[in-house]
């Protein structure tokens, strides 16, 4: 059985209650049959849908104090609980450091995850 000690952290998609959830296909990467990038990327149709929804949200939220962000936005809920969102809408005033390299620890107004 594989343990998290042998599985590189870049293959972890999310973490819930301290347990890692791995990208679909991570075992094929560990077997050397796939490159990590091949399981971590989005399909063209998923990227297109995210782009269209983001553009729509930005249009209808024009003039409101919100950030519409995408690209698997990391959300740190609590210790051991980290989620990734395809699209999230945050209050601009709630994000203190927009240049932070850490996951956001503020709940978004809205979050979308495409599967």
pTM (global) more than 0.75: no
Per-residue pLDDT for 10 more than 90? no
First vs last Cα of the chain: how many Å apart?
A: 27
Do the domain assignments include residue 55?
yes
Per-residue pLDDT for 102 more than 90? no
Using the structure block, give the residue that is written with the tokens 């553009």.
Answer: 55
H helices present in the chain, as ranges: 26-30, 36-40, 44-60
In the 3-class helix/strand/coil scheme, how is 82-94 assigned residue by residue?
EEEEEEEEEEHHH
Over residues 69-89, the pLDDT tens digits come to 998 888 888 888 888 888 999
Q: 3-state class of 53 per DSSP?
A: helix
Do the domain assignments include residue 15?
yes
Task: Tell me the percentage of the chain whose pLDDT exceeds 90.
Answer: 27
pLDDT band at 48; cut points 50, 70, 90? very high
52 vs 48: CA distance, rounded Å: 6
* Phi then psi dihedrals of residue 7, to 5 deg: -95, 120
Looking at every residue in the chain, the average pLDDT score rounds to: 85
> What are the tokens at 8?
């590189």
Predicted local distance difference test score (pLDDT) of residue 13 = 81
88: CATH: 3.90.1570.10
What average pLDDT score do residues 100-112 get?
87
108 vs 89: CA distance, rounded Å: 5
Do the domain assignments include residue 4?
no
> What are the tokens at 41?
């990327």
Domain that holds residue 75: 44-112
70 and 33 within one domain: no
């Amino acid at each position: 059985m594989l343990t998290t000690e042998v599985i590189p952290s870049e293959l972890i998609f999310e973490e819930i209650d301290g347990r890692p959830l791995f990208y679909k296909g991570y075992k094929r990467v560990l077997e050397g049959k796939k490159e990590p990038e091949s399981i971590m990327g989005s399909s063209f149709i998923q990227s297109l849908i995210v782009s269209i929804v983001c553009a729509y949200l930005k249009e209808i939220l024009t003039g409101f104090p919100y950030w519409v962000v995408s690209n698997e936005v990391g959300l740190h809920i609590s210790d051991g609980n980290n989620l990734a969102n395809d699209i999230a809408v945050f209050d601009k005033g709630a994000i203190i450091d927009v240049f932070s390299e850490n996951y956001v620890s503020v709940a978004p107004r809205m979050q979308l995850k495409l599967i």
